[in-house]
Amino acid sequence: MKVFLLSLLALSVLFADSLSIIAVGDIMMGTTYPQMRLPPDDGKDIFKEVQSILSSADLTLGNLEGPLTDRGNCTKIIEKGRCYAFKTPPHYAQYLSGAGFDFMNLKNNHTNDFGPEGIASTIEALKGMGIDFGTDKKNGEFFVKNRKVGIICFSAADWGNSIFDIHGAQKKVAELARKFDIVIVSFHGGGEGTAFLHTMDTFEYFMGWPRGNVVKFAHAVIDSGADFVWGHGPHVPRALELYKNRLIAYSLGNFFTWGFNLNDERGYAPILKVVLDSTGVFKWGQVFSAIQRTLSLLKLDSLHNAAKLIKRLTKEDFPDTPLEITGTGLVLPINRLDAKGD
């Protein structure tokens, strides 16, 4: 552990002028629909144990899985095991802000659970807490360390920013790359659950629904100017890949999900820190392992289950990718192995 901490410190000093990003997966802080499922103490401590990590980067990003609303009508036909709808109290936005989040992806299959009213309420709640967001019509925009950072969001949907329309995605990313120094692409796609731990260069389906070819999509947007590709949606962690010196996280799983079965890999909650140089080249990263079990709060995981799983999946799914991931989650390009932590 001492060597690991020294390695992180050395890397932080070496790349002090670089851009640091923390990204996590799906966040569903509790729901009042179809029945009340809210965490203890109205949720005030849900991020307490990981707050110092979340607030340690220049930008912290999450995928908000469901609207922050107390109004609107449900747009779905609820079917246990197949279709869910979420409705989180709007004041829970304060917990996102307090934890250090700067940006929320809203381009997913739950943002519209309560229609236009739910979306409007979500945007109002996030704006009230100073949190930026991304939708089909709005990109995230930041100015950090004299660099313009743009974030564009895609999902496995037939409309708007779709991962199915790869040519269209490339055009949008290329346009963003002309305006911003660093471009981050967020995507919500891939099959869901433990049957979809592995990432393959094929078109995926889940319960008959198309979920995209996430490898083809990720490579294409990097070819068009993306510097970091951040995936979520499968509800389990997936592999990392280094493609043309740009990092791809194919899924960061569930980060915080209240009231559902999390007693397997769905409870692994990786916190991925990524450090990029001024041109977007990946320099180093760290998978901090957190864990959440059913009806329990998020905790740091001394066994590093999330990091170990991502390490194994990366070796199995992308054996030739020039990355080394240590057992404690340090992520390095192959040419920086001298700094690894174990």
Question: Residue 12 pLDDT > 80, yes or no?
Answer: no
DSSP 116: H
Output the six-digit token pair for 138.
């709005």
- What's the rounded mean pLDDT across residues 92-97? 99
Given a contact cutoff of 8 angstroms between Cβ atoms, the answer to whether 87 and 31 are in contact is: yes
Euclidean distance between CA atoms 37 and 86, whole angstroms: 10
- What's the rounded mean pLDDT across residues 307-325? 98
Return the CATH class of domain 2-339.
alpha beta
Which pTM does this prediction carry? Answer: 0.94
Length of the chain: 342
Euclidean distance between CA atoms 34 and 310, whole angstroms: 34
What does the pLDDT read at residue 337?
45
Can you list the positions of beta strands (E) in 140-267? 140-144, 147-155, 182-188, 204-206, 209-212, 228-232, 240-243, 246-249, 254-257
Average pLDDT, the chain: 94
What does the pLDDT read at residue 127?
99
What does the pLDDT read at residue 262?
95
Burial class (CB in 10 A: 0-12, 13-18, 19+), 335: exposed
Query: Between these two residues, 340 and 117, which has the higher pLDDT value?
Result: 117
Question: Residue 301 pLDDT > 70, yes or no?
Answer: yes
What does the pLDDT read at residue 10?
62
Burial class (CB in 10 A: 0-12, 13-18, 19+), 52: exposed
- For 290, the 3-state DSSP assignment is strand
Q: What are phi and psi of 324, to 5 degrees?
A: -125, 130
- Closest C-alpha among 96, 121, 133 to residue 32: 121
Question: Residue 7 pLDDT > 90, yes or no?
Answer: no
